[in-house]
Amino acid sequence: MTPDMGIDPLGRDASGVDVPGAPAIPGLRFRHYAGPADHREMDRVCNLARRADGDPEVSTVEALDVDYAHLINCDPARDVLLAEVDGMLVAYGRALWEDMNDSIRGYQSFGFVDPAWRRQGIGWAMHRWFEARNVAIAADHDVDRPRALISWGYDENAGNVALLQRSGYAVDRRFLQMVRPTLEAIDVAPLPDGLEVRPGSMDHGRVVFEADAEAFRDHWGAVHTSDDAFETWRDQPATDPSLWVIAWDGDQVAGGVLGLISAEENEAYGYRRGWLDSVFVRRPWRQRGLAKALIGRTLERLRDRGMTSAQLGVDVDNVNRALDLYTGTGFAVVRTESAWRKPWPGPVAVPDGESALTDRRLR
């Protein structure tokens, strides 16, 4: 593909991007991200892909506006790639990096391909471009951490599984999507002595956010506590403090469940289902039955808001045996997702045509 420059009829940056190995599809071109003007089409492609992959989450333009205003460890002007055919968006994705809790610096990529354009080589070409882009990013990082390439995907998505296996990735961690099919017969356990639940409010949003982040520091993954991370969390359209169930010990947050209802998801799938978006207990208050007590109260709150089922996600190897907790409170597995990891590669051609020997010590 030959790069070109200019502005398209809608006033967007139409700078072309050379993607080696791109399929010979008439009208196919790749370009950089052009700002919020792209979000409506990105939202369309994202939701088509998620629906095809069995992912119940539903994107919105408003959520994309928030996410892309506060990206962390990602330069949207350079790390986002869009694919169009005859001017219509058919795929997009982005590269980013994170310092994982297991001391790895993970260089990640993800993307969405319109199901009508799958199995034609677009996703493969973009995946390789993102790997090369991550190598270029890493070349400017002077860190004393081992590195790895990381990607994600639902196990039902056979095409994504095949692509990652073909690229040398192996499953690093498995996650479960769990659903409680009814909100009847809810067991509301008593709170541990000395704790109380207070009404949720964004007035103490930063305290809740940081308590949640602290509780997950010993879990697999990455934790962000920057202003951008907080503002992304705070400003999401579905954020609703009235659905938070937070346990306080004096002026300390002991733990909480952050409930969430996505009106768009419920409309798209024809159910009335709420999320237990985060379930956390800080270390000094663990092993006292607090999480179970908070889950029961959250399920009641979702029921009182008209929901008839609830869902959450869990790491299979969660160090605090969260899977047992959720099974014991009525949740059952409905689908699986995997995090994939690839050892840091050998020489890779980077997107700007330079080369990077990725097995050398980074400068």
- Contacts of 165-168 with C-beta under 8 Å, sequence gap 24+, read 167/127, 167/128, 167/131, 167/342, 168/342, 168/343, 168/345
Find the CATH number of the domain harbouring 132: 3.40.630.30
Residue pair 82/31 in contact by the 8 Å Cβ criterion:
yes
Place of tokens 């071109």: 29
Measure the CA–CA gap between 229 and 224, rounded to whole angstroms.
6
Q: Share the mean pLDDT of the chain.
A: 89
Answer yes or no: is 353 within a domain.
Answer: no
Answer yes or no: is 278 within a domain.
Answer: yes
Q: What is the pLDDT of residue 351?
A: 53
Answer yes or no: is 77 within a domain.
Answer: yes
Answer yes or no: is 7 within a domain.
Answer: no
Answer yes or no: is 225 within a domain.
Answer: yes
Measure the CA–CA gap between 193 and 178, rounded to whole angstroms.
30
- Please report how the helices 158-166 and 122-138 are oriented relative to each other, as an axis angle in degrees rounded to 10: 50
Q: How many independent structural domains does the chain possess? A: 2
Measure the CA–CA gap between 187 and 299, rounded to whole angstroms.
9
pLDDT by residue (tens digit) across 15-40?
689 999 999 999 999 999 999 999 99
Tell me, yes or no, whether 185 and 334 share the same domain: yes
Q: What is the pLDDT of residue 355?
A: 37
Domain coverage including residue 331? 177-338
Measure the CA–CA gap between 84 and 91, rounded to whole angstroms.
7
Measure the CA–CA gap between 126 and 92, rounded to whole angstroms.
8
Place of tokens 């050998």: 346
Beta bridge partners of 43: none
- Per-10-residue mean pLDDT, the chain, length 363: 40 70 96 97 96 90 96 95 97 96 92 96 96 94 92 89 93 94 96 95 96 89 89 94 97 97 95 96 95 97 98 86 92 94 70 39 28
Tell me, yes or no, whether 158 and 216 share the same domain: no
Answer yes or no: is 295 within a domain.
Answer: yes
- In angstroms, the Cα distances linking 114 to 29, 81, 121, 298 are 15, 14, 12, 36
Tell me, yes or no, whether 196 and 330 share the same domain: yes
Tell me, yes or no, whether 182 and 134 share the same domain: no
Q: What is the pLDDT of residue 359?
A: 34
Residues 6+ positions from 184 with CB-CB distance below 8 Å: none
Residue pair 70/274 in contact by the 8 Å Cβ criterion:
no
